[in-house]
């Protein structure tokens, strides 16, 4: 009988992660260095290693693959590096400077030198068209098509590669935007056109325009990559199309991403949150309260799961650009294994946010890196093994790490170990403060949550500061360093629909709001059906953006599957507002937008559950080494365990270092750890 597989691939800033699950639930993992200049080559290299490990050919592996899911940083990288299409913007006459004016306020109030990013469209490529729709969606001035044809002639002459269209109040009436697309498509049939009515049909002109322009800017870099990648895999034997992870925690087709590349900014990190939610579902008797943290080579991503559910944010700022598409509500700081340690003008020590990246990477990688990084500090402290990094596939150099730390230790007149400990403490403090942002600052007590730790570097650092937050239970999946890739193959199909309402809960009838939700459900049913979802597998999540009169920003609240009345929606909003801000207004709130998440359930790969093997773990001891623990004031002789020989039911006490092929777990002296039936390491403090 031919075997079949599900494969998840997550391209990160430093490593590309692979996970394969066969029909019996057996898991194979792999990590290779990312290749930013040519992401596909790193993927092909990893697939070759996977097939070699299974002792089959690459063609046999792809021919047996039933599900192939891809997460990537390609959209983020293209935006940050400004490597996108040459874009033109068509807008309503009088609104040419929308992108430059922004909101006329600084994102960082106290930084007087803060400069917003330069718009992605040159001002001479922003064209005004004669038309006008008013705030009720009524046509005040018809579209001047002769004016539009003159603009099209200019676009053709200037060899524009992609066009964004954002007209005033098109989210209420898109008729002019649709007509513009018809005319341009007739005159320039091969050009990509992004309409704000499709990309971001929401109130607020600047954010809608920004989101549409970014989508247009990314069309070539993202759409071209997936087209070539999917075609190349098909030639090698892949019979199923590839699916792409979106920022909202769901997958979609490559064809859809070609039109909506703006939807995949958090493509990789979203996978880890989905895998964490699946892990929570398997934790019987658990309330589902988890904080997920992903520490990779460049960043530390934090997300809160309240009762097993992650929240979505629809107003996002990524490196200064406003992007209003649904993304998993995640807080990211520049704290990863590659984060660089540096001294300011007053000789104060800082860590990050800048990173050494994949190349040259940390100094210990022996790729020419000179700057001291978190990974270099971890190696000097004894947490990492020079011989067993990536399971022995990659050698790292302790002398080079110590030499790099000399850039800090010499000016401060400290030893390399003291310097490494200082770096370790600072980056840990930065990460703890990041967790406080998603808990304390949002009305949640971190003591009510467990921590799920993944990413290659997370299990080295998080156990050292979790107790400072009052968190005493940490879960480290056995495949922690490729956990985001696991989430990819566990993800459902998902898309988000929105309709502007802009009425008070006392103004809109229950029948009217239900008709809005019914219309959004029908759109979801149609789209997911076109992606291959069966009607029985489609369900819907209802939400509303709401605020009290006079408030500037809305608050998104989750609603029951069936909305009983507009007044009930108002009551739910007041409860959420009170939890978050500690007060409610004595007036009726307004519903700004109605939203529906359409979810198409997929048949998930089996995850093996094991029976407890008993308490013994001595057979897993492979060495002893001196490891520095700050709380002990120095080095402690510590047992080093082979994590692959630890079985469900095994328990051990700290201090301990557990080494796995793609991650290392450091158990502090006052902690203990046991493996549960799903092969997760549970650290208790």
pLDDT digits (tens, 9 = 90+) for 527-562: 999 998 999 999 999 999 999 998 988 899 989 888
DSSP string covering 364-389: GGSSS--S-BHHHHHHHTTSS-SS-G
Gyration radius of the chain over CA positions: 26
The proportion of the chain whose per-residue pLDDT surpasses 70, expressed as a percent, equals 96
Residue 559 phi, psi (nearest 5): -120, 160
Task: Map out the domains of the chain as residue ranges.
Answer: 80-222, 284-336+427-489, 493-600
Least confident of 287-291, 303-307, 342-346: 287-291
Rounded-to-integer distance, Cα 314 and Cα 545, Å: 9
pLDDT at residue 523 in the model: 95
Rounded-to-integer distance, Cα 271 and Cα 603, Å: 17
Segment 357-383 mean pLDDT? 91
Segment 244-270 mean pLDDT? 90
Q: Residue 1 pLDDT more than 60?
A: no
Count the neighbouring beta carbons within 10 Å of the beta carbon of residue 582. 8
Chain mean pLDDT for the chain: 89
pLDDT at residue 615 in the model: 57
User: Which residues partner with 600 through β-bridges?
Assistant: 493, 538
pLDDT at residue 33 in the model: 78
List of E strands, 314-404: 316-318, 321-323, 327-328, 330-333, 339-343, 349-355
Architecture of the domain defined by 493-600: 2-Layer Sandwich (3.30)
Give the C-alpha distances (Å, rounded to integers) separating 604 from 22, 264, 458, 489, 570: 11, 22, 26, 7, 37
Please answer whether residues 612 and 649 qualify as being in contact, where contact means their C-beta atoms are separated by less than 8 angstroms: yes
CATH no. for 80-222: 3.40.1360
Please answer whether residues 305 and 273 qualify as being in contact, where contact means their C-beta atoms are separated by less than 8 angstroms: yes
pLDDT at residue 669 in the model: 95
Q: Residue 606 pLDDT more than 90?
A: no
pLDDT at residue 614 in the model: 60
Which of 307, 306, 320 lies closest to 438 in space, CA to CA? 306
The topology under which CATH files domain 284-336+427-489 is: Nucleotidyltransferase; domain 5 (3.30.420)
pLDDT tens sequence across 439-451: 998 889 999 999 9
Q: Residue 285 pLDDT more than 70?
A: no
- pLDDT tier for residue 361 given thresholds of 50, 70 and 90: confident
């Amino acid at each position: 009988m031919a075997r079949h597989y599900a494969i998840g691939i997550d391209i990160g800033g430093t490593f590309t992660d692979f996970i394969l699950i066969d029909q019996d639930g057996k898991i194979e993992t792999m990590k290779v260095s990312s290749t930013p200049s040519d992401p596909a080559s790193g993927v092909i290299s990893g697939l070759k290693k996977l097939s070699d490990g299974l002792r089959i050919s690459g063609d046999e592996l792809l021919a047996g693959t039933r599900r192939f899911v891809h997460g990537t940083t390609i959209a983020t990288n293209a935006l940050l590096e400004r490597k996108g299409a040459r874009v033109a913007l068509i807008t309503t006459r009088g609104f040419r400077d929308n992108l430059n004016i922004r909101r006329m306020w600084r994102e960082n109030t106290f930084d007087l030198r803060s400069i917003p990013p330069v718009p992605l469209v040159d001002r001479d490529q922003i064209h005004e068209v004669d038309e006008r729709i008013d705030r009720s969606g009524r046509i005040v001035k018809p579209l001047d098509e002769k004016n539009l044809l003159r603009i099209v002639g200019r676009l053709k002459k200037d060899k524009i590669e992609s066009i964004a269209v954002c007209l005033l109040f098109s989210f209420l009436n898109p008729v002019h935007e649709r007509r513009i697309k018809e005319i341009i498509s007739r005159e320039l049939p091969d050009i990509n056109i992004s309409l704000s009515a499709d990309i971001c049909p929401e109130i607020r002109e600047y954010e809608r325009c920004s989101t549409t322009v970014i989508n247009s800017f990314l069309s070539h870099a993202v759409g071209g990559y997936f087209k070539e990648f999917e075609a190349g895999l098909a030639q090698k034997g892949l019979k199923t199309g590839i699916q792409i992870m979106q920022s909202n925690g769901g997958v979609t087709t490559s064809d859809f991403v070609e039109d909506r590349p703006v939807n995949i900014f958090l493509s990789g990190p979203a996978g880890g949150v989905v895998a964490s939610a699946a892990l929570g579902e398997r934790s019987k008797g658990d309330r589902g309260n988890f904080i997920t943290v992903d520490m990779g080579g460049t960043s530390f991503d934090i997300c809160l799961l309240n009762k097993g559910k992650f929240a979505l944010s629809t107003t996002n700022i990524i490196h200064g650009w406003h992007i209003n598409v649904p993304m998993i509500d995640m807080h990211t700081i520049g704290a990863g294994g590659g984060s660089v340690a540096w001294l300011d003008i007053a000789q104060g020590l800082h860590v990050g946010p800048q990173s050494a990246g994949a190349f040259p990477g940390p100094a210990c990688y022996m790729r020419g890196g000179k700057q001291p990084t978190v990974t270099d500090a971890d190696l000097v402290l004894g947490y990492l093994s020079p011989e067993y990094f990536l399971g022995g596939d990659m050698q790292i150099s302790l002398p080079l790490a110590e030499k790099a730390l000399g850039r800090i230790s010499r000016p401060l007149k400290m030893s390399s170990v003291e310097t490494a400990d200082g770096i370790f403490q600072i980056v840990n403090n930065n990460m703890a403060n990041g967790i406080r942002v998603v808990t304390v600052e949002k009305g949640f007590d971190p003591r009510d949550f467990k921590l799920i730790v993944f990413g290659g570097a997370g299990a080295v650092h998080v156990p050292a500061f979790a107790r400072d937050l009052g968190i005493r239970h940490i879960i480290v999946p056995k495949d922690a360093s490729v956990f985001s890739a696991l989430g990819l193959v566990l993800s459902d199909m998902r898309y988000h629909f929105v309709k502007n309402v802009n009425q008070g809960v006392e103004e809109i009838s229950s029948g009217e709001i239900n008709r809005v939700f019914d219309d959004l459900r029908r759109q979801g049913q149609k789209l997911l059906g076109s992606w291959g979802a069966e009607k029985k597998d489609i369900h819907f999540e209802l939400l509303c953006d709401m605020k009290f009169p006079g408030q500037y920003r809305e608050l998104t609240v989750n609603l029951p599957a069936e909305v009983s009345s507009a007044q009930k929606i108002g009551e739910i909003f007041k409860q959420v507002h009170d939890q978050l801000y500690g007060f409610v207004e004595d007036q009726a709130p307004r519903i700004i937008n109605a939203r529906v998440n359409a979810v198409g359930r997929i048949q998930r790969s089996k995850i093996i559950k094991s029976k407890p093997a008993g308490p013994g773990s001595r057979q897993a001891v492979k060495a002893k080494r001196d490891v520095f623990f700050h709380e002990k004031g120095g080095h402690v002789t510590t047992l080093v365990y082979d994590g692959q020989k630890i079985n469900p039911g095994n328990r051990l006490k700290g201090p301990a270092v557990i080494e796995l092929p793609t991650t290392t777990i450091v158990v502090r002296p006052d902690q203990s750890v046991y493996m549960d039936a799903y092969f997760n390491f549970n650290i208790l403090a």
